[in-house]
Amino acid sequence: ATVGGDPRADIAVIEADEAALPEIVRRVRPRVVLLNNLFRDQLDRYGEIDAIATAWARALAALPAGATVVVNADDPALATITTGIAARRITFGLDESRFRLDALPHAADAATCRLCGADLVYDALYVSHLGAWRCPNGDTVRPPLDVVGHDIDLQGVDALAVSVTAGPAPPVRLTVAVPGLYNAYNVVATAAVAHALGRDPGEVVRGLAAFRAAFGRIERVGYRDRTLILALVKNPTGFNEVLRMLTVATGGLTVPTMIAINDLAADGRDVSWLWDVDFELLAGGDTPLATTGIRGTDMANRLKYAGVGTGRIRTLPPDARPALEAFVDSIPEGGTGYILPTYTAMLDLRRVLASLGAVETFWRQ
């Protein structure tokens, strides 16, 4: 933008904080609003998701008929709060026979009907409380999908592909160099917004093919003849999906992993959310697990209660540099290690890696 505030562009993309979204919608009067999901995050800052959903509902109800709301209808709360709004609504979601969950995870947040309070029934469950849902009393049901993601191919920690069908148009195959089922939702959301704006599907294909993950989000770093893969974790659902991504193909963790937990303001001061993460997925096998960060000892304790053998758990110093060096020492030369940090722990680790010449500082990327 210019000094005078001219954005010098036709389209601006604003990723909004949960609490800031209503005010941003009021001030910006956006042409398109994308609602991807609503998961519990930093309860000490935002409160329960019902309060956030209520605030969002008021903001969305004020949008004019000329606006468009692109909403993940697999999320029961989002589907409900966008029902009957004046703005045009475009729904998206998944229709996938594989990669389904057998039951609601412990960390699922919105699995009850917002109209009658009954527990929802799922005909397909994909991520947390996202899926093909319905109220057993008939009060509400997942609405028909305008944009559908299907035939998903999860390619380990490297990439994914998904076919997307928008209305009567033939399906488009989209590939992106980020992994995980949760990113399949992001891909389908991108296609849905492009559909809402009338863009050519070929633009989406090319744009996603050229996309590279942001710093710390499945970022690959070469250091001391090892490959480190950084995957940001910051709430129960996100952490569960990262663990699912790392274990789904092998049935357990097979790569040395360091979990870095901080509790600064940007992370959320209350780390009790760690008890809602399904670390029991890591209980099998003999792959070593290291913990670090301000609350590294809390993380080690959580792993112990998840059934991870104490002989596999190594508590490293809380400071980023010595923890990083000790973790890298434990990885064979030419090998790979996973690092799962909270937000400020990720910044600390990348600052160290930048000082060692392994990465660029994020504002230069």
Q: How far apart are CA 125 and CA 94, in angstroms?
A: 10
Q: What number is the average pLDDT over the span 337-362?
A: 94
Using the predicted structure, report yes or no on whether residue 99 has a pLDDT greater than 90: yes
Give 302-336 pLDDT, tens digit per residue.
999 999 999 999 999 999 999 999 999 999 999 99
pLDDT band at 6 (very low <50, low <70, confident <90, very high): confident
Q: How far apart are CA 207 and CA 319, in angstroms?
A: 38
Transcribe 118-163 into DSSP letters: PBPEEEEEEETTEEEEE-TTSS-BPPPPSEEEEEEEEETTTEEEEE
Q: How far apart are CA 293 and CA 301, in angstroms?
A: 13
Q: What number is the average pLDDT over the span 224-240?
A: 95
Give 349-359 pLDDT, tens digit per residue.
999 999 999 99
Judge contact between 32 and 197, C-beta under 8 A. Answer: yes
* Residue in 122, 176, 120 with CA at minimum distance from that of residue 149: 176
Which residues form the domain of 336?
217-364
How many independent structural domains does the chain possess? 2
Three-state DSSP class for 42? Answer: coil
Q: Identify whether residues 122 and 151 lie together within a single domain.
A: yes
Residue 306 lies in a domain: yes
Q: Which of 195, 210, 225 is the last residue of a domain?
A: 210
Q: Which of 210, 233, 260 is the last residue of a domain?
A: 210
Residue 1 lies in a domain: no
Residue 13 lies in a domain: no
Q: Identify whether residues 258 and 195 lie together within a single domain.
A: no
Query: In the chain, how many H helices and how many E strands?
Result: 10, 14
Residue 35 lies in a domain: yes
> Cα dihedral sign for 240, 246, 252, 253?
negative
Domain of 223: which CATH number?
3.90.190.20
CA atoms within 13 A on the CB side of 318: 11
Residue 188 lies in a domain: yes
Q: Identify whether residues 264 and 118 lie together within a single domain.
A: no
Using the predicted structure, report yes or no on whether residue 2 has a pLDDT greater than 90: no
Residue 61 lies in a domain: yes
pLDDT band at 45 (very low <50, low <70, confident <90, very high): low
Q: Identify whether residues 293 and 354 lie together within a single domain.
A: yes
Q: Identify whether residues 191 and 131 lie together within a single domain.
A: yes
Among 10-19, 78-87, 135-144, 340-349, the minimum mean pLDDT is found in: 10-19
* Residue in 149, 146, 145, 147 with CA at minimum distance from that of residue 161: 149
Q: Identify whether residues 181 and 259 lie together within a single domain.
A: no
Q: Identify whether residues 189 and 315 lie together within a single domain.
A: no
CA atoms within 13 A on the CB side of 228: 27
Residue 281 lies in a domain: yes
Q: Identify whether residues 195 and 331 lie together within a single domain.
A: no
Q: Identify whether residues 231 and 100 lie together within a single domain.
A: no
Judge contact between 81 and 71, C-beta under 8 A. Answer: no
Q: Which of 210, 226, 244 is the last residue of a domain?
A: 210
Domain of 93: which CATH number?
3.40.1190.10
Q: Identify whether residues 173 and 321 lie together within a single domain.
A: no
Residue 10 lies in a domain: no
